[in-house]
Amino acid sequence: MQLTAEKQAEREKTVHSRQVLFAALPPEWPEPLLPRIQDHIRASGRKVVVLDDDPTGGQTTHNLPVLTEWSVTALQTELVGDFPCFYILTNTRSLPLAEAQALNAEVGCNLAQAAHRCGIDFAVVCRGDSTLRGHYPGEIDALAAAIDATTWPVILVPFFLEGERFTLDNVHYVAEGDRLIPAGETQYARDAAFGYRASDLREWVEEKTAGRINSANVQTISAHDLRHGGPERICALLRALPERSVCAANAASYRDLEVLVAGLLDAESQGSCFLCRTAASFVRVRAGIAPRPLLTRAELGAKEKTGGLFVIGSYVAKSTAQVAALLNQSQVAEIKVNAQALLHAETRDKEITHAAEAATAQLASGRTAVIYTSREIITGADSERSLQIGKAISTGLVSIVSGIDTTPSYIVAKGGATASAVATEALSVRRALVLGQILPGVPVWQLGPESCFPGTPYVVFPGNVGGEDALARTAEIFG
């Protein structure tokens, strides 16, 4: 969607220089707090459970399991295991609100039952931020009801360093070079299913709750609180939150998150309870995970001598530019899928069969197959119909991957809905391990033994992450 000249002029009035805004911030809290957070997590014995509304939530962590099923038995096994944190892939962002709420309620009930059986306490993080898009507040309300947490304050933390998204003076920004664009002025805010107008998190909460929570009643944690007051100040603020309130946290660095989490853990140790809806950066700190370098080619573990497989459903402008750069690689074979054909019964099967056969042949020859949907944006009359269209296209890509007979040396799925559907439906993944990241904000799973391609590296590539050369660089890293 192109902005008119008038709209572009209005947008430019709200754009700020990153350098100028960051220079106005107080100095960061001087003390590294991750060791303190790790000690607190070990002492409490509480597991961090991350409900992920699409599979990209492992963008910042490593060596953690991700489940795609949530039976009481499976959850109990993870709760008593050695990992301090685990993910549950709900993929609710691809569902209508009622289905998303029902699923979160089911997960919450099963989690509560599993915790009761094994006597392990847990803390829940809803990793649901995709530049403020998703089912808020509906699915977190459903989860709260299921785990008897309806009075707990909700903490919003959309800061995501790897995606260059910052919250300053309560406004959430997306960086474009040195320019900071208010989130409500970006293409993400015009999403057909999860669009919004507000960039100030207080106004965003009012918008998303349809006025049930007035912006004036949204509590905030400021940069001054974080950088001058430290964990003690944050603990006091969180302890003072009213029941059922919402608190939006500013953050511009990982040190800010360390201060926030240290204060939150202190508040919990004094009897407070919270639900957190956050982006991926918060998860790493809340789970006490130390950062690690990007994965090397040797660590990725690609063993097959066949070509790699790219499956690209995301159609945002950034993804389209990345596809174009990828297709310029010499060992890449283009397999374009007509998205419109996937929506009609008379053309669907032929389109699927052709793409699957082409991909099989290319992989067997040692070339990397790039399956991608045509780039037009197809929307419905309302948000629910738009989600149904997206689901139909995603299901078509699943059928294509299911029809491939050659094991790829690696798989890259571009777009959260695409990555989830391919993993769970085409590859039958039930449990995987987040190895780390191949690029900033781009997680890599090692597929479990129950999957169609056990041990194969699976790159979960978010639709809105990376520069124009990101997919091409991914192919180069695998070689």
pLDDT in tens, 3-33: 555 555 555 567 999 999 999 999 999 999 9
Which residue do the tokens 């939006």 mark? 248
Q: What is the mean pLDDT of residues 104-110?
A: 98
pLDDT given for residue 13 in this prediction: 62
Residues 261-306 pLDDT 10s: 999 999 999 999 999 999 999 999 999 999 999 999 999 988 788 9
With pLDDT > 90 as the criterion, what percentage of the chain qualifies?
80
CB atoms within 10 A of CB 244: 12
Q: What is the mean pLDDT of residues 34-63?
A: 95
Is a pLDDT exceeding 90 seen at residue 138? yes
Which residue do the tokens 């067997």 mark? 364
Residue 317 DSSP SS3: helix
pLDDT given for residue 375 in this prediction: 64
Q: For residue 137, say if its preceding peptide bond is cis, omega within 30 degrees of 0.
A: yes
How many residues are there in the chain? Answer: 479
pLDDT given for residue 65 in this prediction: 98
CB 40 within 8 A of CB 269: yes
Distance of CA 467 to the CA centre of its chain: 18
Distance of CA 159 to the CA centre of its chain: 12
- Show the domains of the chain with their CATH numbers: 5-286 (3.40.50.10840), 297-478 (3.40.980.20)
Is a pLDDT exceeding 80 seen at residue 2? no
Look at 155 and 193; give whichever has higher pLDDT.
Answer: 155
Is a pLDDT exceeding 90 seen at residue 466? no
Residues near 281 by Cβ (< 8 Å), separated by ≥ 6? 60, 159, 160, 161, 162, 251, 254, 257
Q: What is the mean pLDDT of residues 396-402?
A: 93
Cα three-residue angle 86-91-96, rounded to 5 degrees: 145
Q: What is the mean pLDDT of residues 199-222?
A: 98
Segment (H or E) for 111: helix 97-118
Q: Minimum mean pLDDT among 52-61, 204-213, 390-399: which range?
A: 390-399
pLDDT given for residue 469 in this prediction: 95
CB atoms within 10 A of CB 236: 14
Which of 341, 376, 337 lies closest to 356, judged by CA? 337
Is a pLDDT exceeding 90 seen at residue 470? yes
CB 102 within 8 A of CB 138: no
Residues 312-371 pLDDT 10s: 987 777 888 999 999 999 889 999 998 899 898 899 999 999 999 999 999 999 999 999
pLDDT given for residue 10 in this prediction: 56
Residues 157-194 pLDDT 10s: 999 999 899 999 999 999 999 999 999 999 889 988 89
Cβ burial, residue 239 (10 Å; 0-12/13-18/19+): middle
Tell me the H-state helices in 147-221.
201-208
Look at 2 and 403; give whichever has higher pLDDT.
Answer: 403
Look at 132 and 416; give whichever has higher pLDDT.
Answer: 132
Query: pTM for the full model?
Result: 0.90
pLDDT given for residue 7 in this prediction: 54
pLDDT level of residue 230 (50, 70, 90 thresholds): very high
Is a pLDDT exceeding 50 seen at residue 1? no
Is a pLDDT exceeding 80 seen at residue 258? yes
Cα separation, 435 vs 314, in Å, equals: 23
Q: Minimum mean pLDDT among 69-73, 375-379, 473-477: which range?
A: 375-379
